[in-house]
Chain A
C-alpha cells in the first residue's frame, strides 16, 4: 500500500506522459495504447483494488476512486475504471486476477446471468463497456434459485460480443453467453449482489465524470481568457462570465456529490486493518442515497456543463481538432453507464416515498 499522495503523483505523471488529451487527439493510430496500458499496469494502477495476495496493488477504495477522478481529468480512453471494478469484483470471490484489460457486468439493472447446475453461464448483458477490447470479463451471476450470487471470470473469446460503440466512440457491447464454461467461479460473499456492483460502477463513473467536468471548466475558462472578440477577451463579457460561473456550480455539485459517494462507499466497505477489503454488509438506505444522488446529480451536471462549455468555445469546440469533445462526449456516454439518471431517480424516489415524509430529513441529515 502506498500513500494517497504518492499514488496520485505516480498516476498524474503517467497520465500526463501517456494519455495527454492533445497528443492522443492528434494521433493518427492507436499505437499509443499498448505502451500506455503497459505503463499503467507496471505501476499497478488497473488492479488498484485487488489485494496484493491476489496479484494486485492493494490500494484503498478511496485512493482508487481518487485515481478515477484523475483519469476523468485526462478523459483516459482505456478501460481503467472497468479493470478496477472487475478486479474488485473478482477479489470479493478471492479469485486471482489475470493481467490485461478487464471489464465487468451486469452494468444494467434487469440484466441477469444464470449459472446452470453443470457450471455453465448463460444470459445477455447489455452495454458492457470495452468488451471488444478486453480479454476477460468478471461477472456476478445468479444461481438457478435466482438468489445465491456467484462471481465468475470468463474469457471473452468464448462469448458473442456484438459490435457497438458509445456516443464517445468507445467499445460498448452487448455480450451474449450461451452455456459458457467460466475459467473459475466462486460464491459471492453475503451482502454482495447486483445492486452492490451497480453502485460501485455508478460511483466509479461519477468520479470519472466529476474529473472530466473539472477539466472542461479549466478548458472553457482558459479559452475565454485567450479568445478575443470585439477587441477584448470574451472572458470580459458578463454573459460569458455568468455562463462559466454556472458551469463552475455544476462542476462543484458533481465534485461534492461524487466525492461524497466514493467516501461513503470506502467507509462502509472498508476492511479492518488485518483483513482484505471485502464487502462487509449490503447497502443501507443512506449508502443508497449517496450513490444514487451522485449518479443523478453528476449526470445532470454533465449535461448542463458540457452544453455551456461548447457554447463558450463556439465553432472551435465543435471540431475534431480541439480536445473538448474528448471530455464532453465521454460525459454524455458515462451518464448512461451503470444506469442513467432517470433509472436511479425512479429508484431513489421510490425509496423516499416508501420511507415517508417524516423519514426524508433524518436520512439527508445522516450524511
Chain B
C-alpha cells in the first residue's frame, strides 16, 4: 500500500559538502590537464586506466568498504556525492564503476578471505575492471532461464555456454557470472543457479565484440568452452544464487546514474536557449528542472534509507523506473524546445552533437540493469498486486 511508500526529505550531511568541493576541484584539474573532455560524453567510451588509478589514489573507489580490504569506511552518502559529481562531469569511470557499485559488494559478502584480500584492494586502486555475466541468448530479463552450465569437475567446475550483451567484457579482468549448476525444480524454478567469480584470463574464454547502433563497442558475446573455475571461486551458495541476487539491487537501481545519464543535454539546452528564453523555452526548461530536482530528492531519500540500514526495494525500483524514463525522454524534449533557436546560437553545433549522441544511446537506458517492464513488476509486487 502507498502508505508504506517512504520518501523522507533526507539532506546530505555537511561532510558531503566538503567532499563535493574536493571532487569538483579534482575534476577541474583533470579537465584543465586534458585528461578528458567533458563536452564529449562518448569519447573513448569513458574508459581511462590513468583516470581510474587517480580516482583510486584519491580514495574514491570502494569508499564504503572495510579498510582491511583497501576500502575507506566512509558513508554511503559520501559515495553518492562522488558518483553524482563524476556523472555530471562526464568523467571516464567505466573501468572501475561496475566493480565499485556492484561486484565489490558481492565479493565482500560472498567471496572467501583469500579472494577478498587479493581482489578488493586492486579494485580500490582503480586497477581492475569487472563485467557482469547475466544475459544469454535465451535468457535476458528472465534471469532464471540461464542455461550456461557449470559442471562439477576435480577441484572445481567446467563452464560451457554463452553470455551476451556483456558490457566491458573486452576490458574486464573479472566477470561475476550466473551459471547453471543444477536443473530447476518443480517447486522452485529459480533453483539451480550459482554465482562464480570468473578470471577472464582463464583458458577457454573467448570474447567477441557486438557493435552497437551508435557505432560504439560496449557489448560482447562471451563464449565459455570447458573454462575451469576452482572451487573457491564459487560466490555464496551452490544452486542458491536466487537468494543472493535481490539485496544489492536497491543500490544498483536508485543511484544518480539512473537519471543523470543524459544530463549534459539539459546543461547544453540552457546554453542554447540563452539568458532570456521565450515563454515556451522558459516553461519547458522550468518543467525539466523541476522533474530532475524531484528525481534527485527521491534518489537521495533512498540513499538515506540505505545508509540507515533499511531495504527500500520498491522505492529504489520506482527511482529507476521514473528516472530512466525521464533521462530517455530528455533529448527528445530538448530537441523540441530548441526547435526555434537561431541557427547562429554560439553553442548550436555542440548542442546538436550532444543531442545526437544522447538520442542514439537513449533506447538502452530503460533496458540495462532491469527493464521498465521488470521494474514495474517489482513495484506491482510491492503494492500487493502480485
Contact assessment for A244 and B270 in the assembled complex, using a CB-CB cutoff below 8 Å: no
- Inter-chain CA distance A60–B319, complex, in Å, is 30
Residue B74 CB within 8 A of the other chain? no
How close is A63's CB to chain B, nearest CB, in angstroms? 14
Residue A342 CB within 8 A of the other chain? yes
- Inter-chain CA distance A256–B287, complex, in Å, is 16
Chain B interface size range = 35 or more
Contact assessment for B293 and A364 in the assembled complex, using a CB-CB cutoff below 8 Å: yes
- Inter-chain CA distance A311–B168, complex, in Å, is 43
Contact assessment for A241 and B5 in the assembled complex, using a CB-CB cutoff below 8 Å: no
Residue B334 CB within 8 A of the other chain? no
Interface of A, secondary structure class, is: helix
In this complex, the member of A238, A252, A341 whose beta carbon has the largest number of chain B beta carbons within 10 angstroms is: A252
Residue of A nearest to B9 (CB): A263
Contact assessment for B296 and A353 in the assembled complex, using a CB-CB cutoff below 8 Å: no
- Inter-chain CA distance A347–B279, complex, in Å, is 10
Contact assessment for B297 and A260 in the assembled complex, using a CB-CB cutoff below 8 Å: yes
In chain B, positions 1-26 with a C-beta closer than 8 Å to chain A are 1-3, 5, 7-9, 11, 20
> Of A133-141, A156-164, A217-225, which stretch is located at the interface?
A217-225
Residue A296 CB within 8 A of the other chain? yes
In chain A, positions 218-263 with a C-beta closer than 8 Å to chain B are 218, 221, 224-225, 235-236, 238, 240-242, 244-246, 248-249, 251-253, 255-257, 259-260, 262-263
Contact assessment for A248 and B5 in the assembled complex, using a CB-CB cutoff below 8 Å: yes
* Chain B residues near A348 (CB-CB < 8 A): 285-286, 289-290
How close is A286's CB to chain B, nearest CB, in angstroms? 10
Residue of B nearest to A267 (CB): B11
Residue B283 CB within 8 A of the other chain? yes
Residue B380 CB within 8 A of the other chain? yes
Residue A316 CB within 8 A of the other chain? no
Bitwise, B84-108 to A at CB < 8 A (1) or not (0) is 1100100000000000000000000
Known pairs A244-B385, A245-B321; A345 contacts B282 (CB<8 A): yes
* Chain B residues near A357 (CB-CB < 8 A): 267-268, 270-271
Besides the contacts A225-B384, A255-B5, what 10 more A-B pairs have beta carbons closer than 8 Å? A242-B376, A245-B321, A245-B379, A256-B298, A296-B287, A300-B291, A349-B277, A352-B285, A353-B273, A357-B271
Q: Could you jot down 6 A-B contacts, CB within 8 Å?
A: A242-B380, A248-B383, A251-B2, A354-B275, A360-B270, A364-B289
Closest CB pairs A-B (n = 7): A345-B286, A349-B286, A349-B282, A348-B286, A349-B285, A263-B9, A241-B380
